[in-house]
Amino acid sequence: MKSEKNEEPTVTITNLSQLQTFIKDRNNWQNVFYMSEIPEVCREYPCILGIDEAGRGPVLGPMVYGTAFIPINEQTLLETLECADSKVLNEEKRDKIFEKICDQSGKIGWGVEIIAPNSICNSMLSRSKYSLNQVSMDAAIGLMRAAVNLNVKIEHVYVDTVGKPEKYQEYLKSIFPKLKITVAKKADSTYPIVSAASICAKVTRDHSLKVWNFTENLEVAEFGSGYPADPHTKQFLTDQFEPVFGYPQLVRFSWSTAENMLKNVAYHIECEEEEEQNTHPPNTMAITSFFKMTRENANNVKTMHEFFTKRNLSREVDF
């Protein structure tokens, strides 16, 4: 159900209901990319393109990067649609503007990448460090590249910054040397096209949380906004943990909020690393040889306990 970054969408989203269905049908543990159908005018006339994110700070849920693009000669439409920084709009207003953007599919294109919580955690906790800033930059680059590959006639790109604007702008220009690029602080409140991208990102994140599918079969009535200061989020983190495996996939394990709480309530487990040996001493057998399948037990394979299957845990090594 997801769109590849260089392809036209296999699903068309024209309203909030379709957005929710699209999100609900995805796997929570995988990143999902969506790009709307490209208006023909965006292929014929020079366009501006904006990029912004939603959900960078929360301990719960995905981070969403959004983009929007429109011909330069049509950009006054963004003011008519009341596009503004999504953070200063309430949820009802954001939803209405998002549907207006969808209604203008003949002039405005948009896209999002939903970056799953466990994808963020795996990046930040990996041995070769992959920072949240780099995750953010790569998402922005992916959206820009998708628009370019789908033949959007981009003239100028506006991006809300991650880190120092000058350094980020120079980095993007090294990848897209033919494009005019402006990276700025608070670009979402300065440039309406970035505001439109911000709204698409924020609405997508809000509805991702509304239709979140707990594969762990949890019954959760409320978990709040996902921000660490939210009382409902704090209560969720207090109630919904497993002492060995920690939290459900909604939670970003790499956040200090979750990490500090687990230090107080979870079991302490130490994993020792074994030195790799390419050869075995003479006249000895590898330990795994004692666990190899024989014809007698090949048809008597034990299934995994539902605790593991519900959390999408799988064996990395078959004995």
Give me the chain's average pLDDT, please: 87
pLDDT of 231 above 90: yes
Superfamily for the 16-210 domain: Ribonuclease H-like superfamily/Ribonuclease H (3.30.420.10)
Q: pLDDT above 90 covers what percent of the chain?
A: 63
- Pairing status of strand 32-35 against strand 109-115: antiparallel
* pLDDT number for residue 28: 87
Q: What is the pLDDT of residue 92?
A: 96
Closest to 142 (Cα-Cα) out of 118, 111, 120: 111
- Domain positions in the chain are 16-210
73-116 confidence digits (pLDDT tens):
999 999 999 998 788 899 999 999 999 999 999 999 999 999 99
Summarize pLDDT for 133-151 with one digit per residue, the tens. 999 999 999 999 999 999 9
Annotation-wise, does 306 bind a ligand?
Answer: no
pLDDT of 316 higher than 90: no
Q: In the prediction, which pLDDT does 52 show?
A: 97
The reply, when asked if residue 103 is annotated as ligand binding, is no
Q: Is 53 a known ligand-binding residue?
A: yes
Q: CA neighbours within 13 Å on the CB side: how many for 156?
A: 11
Torsion of the alpha carbons at 243, 248, 251 and 256, rounded to the nearest 10:
10
Mean pLDDT of the region 200-212: 96
